[in-house]
Amino acid sequence: MTIAVADALLNNKEYEQVLKTWGRRYPLAGYGGTFRKWLAGLVKGPYNSWGNGSAMRVSPVGWLCNSLEDVLAEAQASAAVTHNHPEGVKGAQAIAACIFLARTGQDKEAIRDYCIETFGYNLRRKIDDIRIYYAFDVSCQGSVPEAIISFLEGEDFEDTIRNAISLGGDSDTIAAMAGSIAEAYYGNVPQEIVDEVIQRLPEDMKLVLAQFQGMFTQRV
């Protein structure tokens, strides 16, 4: 779905159309139950979801929009075709805003303060404390703050991912969100990790990724 959001932004496609195209192409990708019904056409229109799928897929927005205002508006648009609950929209906006702030040179304290003020998340907690009580939670409100904290406490990209996974719960989603912010903040993903991931991607995803990287280089 992250590839789908990038495809929509790069090629001026409607979010609903492109999410369904990619989702139906890869129907066994671990989607939530209601999202699967939405892909199949059994659920019509957005379904008021507050799940963290909206925030997991939003990262291209933080890169390809040129202002914080545009980031917030586009994140809402990318979420609202399915996750039109206020928490579903807020989670997507928070992750996209963190990416934009990170890639435009804001430090961690500025990113933390912005998210606390704008989204009301409690980001003064510590990973070691959260880990004690944290449980599986697919909601934006129960995983987006933890992803941001994983980034804030991380020493580099890989350390951020380790923080996220160490919490347990919906750890693949938390790591996806945290890692997307860390990439923007630290400037890249370590090459050995990139090489390992690229060989696992199908060719159609590699094409969108190459287009994304080329477009971003041009815009910079």
Question: Per residue in 170-181, pLDDT tens?
Answer: 999 999 999 999
Helices (H) and strands (E) in the chain, counts: 14, 0
Q: Which residues contact 165 (CB under 8 A, 6 or more apart)?
A: 171, 174, 175
| Residue 219 pLDDT > 90 | no
Q: What is the largest CA-CA distance in the chain?
A: 45
Cβ atoms 66, 118 nearer than 8 A: no
Q: Stretch 57-74: mean pLDDT, rounded?
A: 97
pLDDT of the residue at 220: 39
- The rounded distance, in Å, linking the Cα atoms of 76 and 7 is 17
pLDDT of the residue at 216: 64
Render pLDDT for 98-112 as a digit per residue (tens, 0 to 9).
999 999 999 999 999
**Burial class (CB within 10 angstroms; exposed 0-12, middle 13-18, buried 19+) of 109:** exposed
- The rounded distance, in Å, linking the Cα atoms of 18 and 4 is 6
- The rounded distance, in Å, linking the Cα atoms of 100 and 65 is 8
Q: Stretch 32-52: mean pLDDT, rounded?
A: 95
Q: Stretch 148-161: mean pLDDT, rounded?
A: 98
- The rounded distance, in Å, linking the Cα atoms of 177 and 59 is 8
Architecture per CATH, 2-205: Orthogonal Bundle (1.10)
pLDDT of the residue at 217: 58
Q: What rounded mean pLDDT belongs to the chain?
A: 96
Q: Stretch 194-204: mean pLDDT, rounded?
A: 96
Q: Which residues contact 170 (CB under 8 A, 6 or more apart)?
A: 52, 136, 137, 138, 143
Q: For the whole model, what pTM was predicted?
A: 0.96
pLDDT of the residue at 188: 87
pLDDT range class, residue 218, cuts 50, 70, 90: very low
pLDDT range class, residue 210, cuts 50, 70, 90: very high
pLDDT range class, residue 119, cuts 50, 70, 90: very high
